[in-house]
Structure 1
Amino acid sequence: MTAILEALYHGKLKSNMNIVPSHPEYRSAYRQVTAELHQWRERLGEEVFRELEEYLDLCDSVNSMHVEAAFHHGFKLGANLLIEVMSNRETP
């Protein structure tokens, strides 16, 4: 536990940068997204594609905010669960 607290204190704990989904279809879907993005670039041309990229960046920002809120909620829920379990602990 001390190692995690030290890493957090020193700004070394950046778990969001190390997350790679383990879902079996992730890499295949990611490759498909990349391939389709290249196709859209060719179809739309640079200027219109740049507008599409701005829209997609906005969607990514909204999604990131949602994921962050879900993380906070899940962490608080887990912490509250531990508090409840430990405060209602029965002695053998």
Structure 2
Amino acid sequence: MSNLIEDLFHGNLRLDESIHPEQEEYQEINRQISDLMQDYKSQLSENEYDALEQLVDLIGQSTSMYVEAAFEQGFRTGGRLIIEVLAKT
């Protein structure tokens, strides 16, 4: 059995690789995104499509930063909750 603290220390803990949204719509939305990007690739000039890809990449980076901050906030809140519960016993 893996030791969580050791995995964390050695950088082996990759939570982002184990995230699999459970909503049924998730795969469908990703398929729609892929289809739309293919449509844009065939309709736009190369420069316009490159600009669109740059926009999508920036949105992805922004979303990743937001998700990271939300994770940190949730983790801290969970930690505070545990401390509060344990302090009452």
Q: Same fold (TM over 0.5)?
A: yes
Partner of 1:26: 26
> Could you say which structure has the larger radius of gyration?
1
Q: Distance in 2 between matches of 1:79 and 1:63?
A: 24
Q: Distance in 1 between matches of 2:5 and 2:44?
A: 49
Could you list the per-position Cα deviations for residues 23-70 of structure 1 after superposition, in whole angstroms to 9, with x for gaps in the alignment? 111111111110111001111122110011111111111111111110
Runs in 1 of length 4+ with deviation above 3 angstroms? none
Q: Which runs of 5+ in 1 are unaligned?
A: none
> Secondary structure at 1:73's aligned position in 2?
helix
Trace 1:1-92 onto structure 2 (pairs within 5 A).
Answer: 3-89=3-89
Q: Distance in 2 between matches of 1:54 and 1:17?
A: 24
Counterpart amino acid of residue 41 in structure 1: K
Q: Distance in 1 between matches of 2:73 and 2:36?
A: 34
Q: Which runs of 5+ in 2 are unaligned?
A: none
Q: Percent identity?
A: 35
Count, aligned residues: 89
CA RMSD of aligned residues (A): 1.5
Q: Distance in 1 between matches of 2:26 and 2:58?
A: 22
TM (normalized to structure 1)?
Answer: 0.89
TM (normalized to structure 2)?
Answer: 0.92
Shift of 1:9: 1.1
